Amino acid sequence: MIQDIDVAVVGGGPAGLTAATYLRRFLRSVVVIDGGRSRARYIPESHNCPGFPQGVSGTGLLRRMREQAEAFEVEITTGHVDTIVREGEGFVVTAAGRRWRARKVILATGLADRLPEVPWAEAAIACGALRLCAICDAYEASDQAIAVYGPGAVIGGHAAFLRSYSARIALLPTDADLAHEAIAQAQALGATLLPPGGTLEFDGVHCHYRTPDGGVHRFDTVYPYLGYEGGPSLPTGLRLDSDDSGALEVDAHQQTRVPGLYAVGDVVSGLNQISVAVGHAAIAATHAHNALPFVPRAAAPG
């Protein structure tokens, strides 16, 4: 049993839900297949999301975006898309024992953050003791005691960025690879370099860094920069262009090298932000609609 549709959207985060809403409003048949692990679910409260002057939680935003899509009768299915296979000029998409024959596919599969390997990571994110995105929320951490945790090769630049928000910045290296210009620059800006190889602890409110010699340093906020789990999540059956991090490269219409296959949001190389994801989605959905066969509307009765 296979279902024919205009567009299959893989991923139901801000990017996928926006694309689906646009497509239904273009009167196209569309299904969203979503694994339910949007990065946005971790957002305690976003203050840079357009239209929410009092802030909005990630789960609250996802709920509203889902409601908006469903108000236009978008079908949202829970499941993990395993394969996307080219069939003629379209695609066959398989998930959770179901199959769709789609003329176009929009990939909105996002990324999965690599978190510190501690059982308390999600609890610390929920209370802002761990933050994952300085562009998103460094403003809220202004003047706090902030630490940047990760490999020596990457933390220096992030520490320098955060230095404009607080005079109290510490570097917590996870390795001894410290001979980096960015680390020297951060130190020149007043950031403190702590000994590498310590452990992160959480007391329910704050994170602490215990150095190998037993020193304990308490922070209001720690930003781990540990990269993403295995790069973007992509169904098999696709060979696409990507940058050094594995993020997809697309053209000005968000189209990959495969005609009819679009990519939007964090899975695409660029700035990982909600406003960027919804912008990508609007561009891809509009291009996909214009590339689909024109369907003249029958005269309204009466």
Ligand X SMILES: Cc1cc2nc3c(=O)[nH]c(=O)nc-3n(C[C@H](O)[C@H](O)[C@H](O)COP(=O)(O)OP(=O)(O)OC[C@H]3O[C@@H](n4cnc5c(N)ncnc54)[C@H](O)[C@@H]3O)c2cc1C
Taking the least distance from each CB to ligand X, the nearer of 34 and 220 is: 34
Say whether 120 sits in a helix, a strand or coil.
coil
Four-point Cα dihedral 204, 206, 210, 214, nearest 10: -90
Taking the least distance from each CB to ligand X, the nearer of 183 and 235 is: 235
The one-letter code for the residue type at 46 is S
Min CB(220)–ligand X separation in Å? 16
Taking the least distance from each CB to ligand X, the nearer of 194 and 282 is: 282
The one-letter code for the residue type at 124 is A
Min CB(155)–ligand X separation in Å? 18
Question: Which of 125, 171, 118, 120 lies closest to 145, judged by CA?
Answer: 171
Min CB(185)–ligand X separation in Å? 26
242-261: b (≥16 Cβ within 10 Å) or e: beeeebbebeeebbbebebb
Min CB(176)–ligand X separation in Å? 28
Taking the least distance from each CB to ligand X, the nearer of 75 and 195 is: 75
CB-CB neighbours of 79 under 10 Å = 15
List beta partners, residue 33.
10, 77
Burial class (CB in 10 A: 0-12, 13-18, 19+), 103: buried
Taking the least distance from each CB to ligand X, the nearer of 120 and 185 is: 120
Min CB(81)–ligand X separation in Å? 4
Min CB(190)–ligand X separation in Å? 26
Between CA 295 and CA 293 the distance in angstroms is 6
Min CB(228)–ligand X separation in Å? 10
Contact yes or no for 79/35 (Cβ under 8 A): yes
Taking the least distance from each CB to ligand X, the nearer of 38 and 256 is: 38
Q: How are beta strands 192-193 and 75-78 bridged, if at all?
A: unpaired
Taking the least distance from each CB to ligand X, the nearer of 157 and 231 is: 231
Between CA 194 and CA 199 the distance in angstroms is 12
Between CA 13 and CA 21 the distance in angstroms is 12
Distance from the first to the final alpha carbon of the chain? 38
Taking the least distance from each CB to ligand X, the nearer of 178 and 278 is: 278
Min CB(301)–ligand X separation in Å? 40
Query: Which letter does DSSP use for residue 67 in this model?
Result: H
Between CA 198 and CA 172 the distance in angstroms is 8
For ligand X, the binding residues (CB under 6 A) are: 10-16, 33-40, 42-43, 46, 48-49, 80-81, 108-110, 113, 125, 132-133, 136-137, 233, 235, 265-266, 272-275, 277
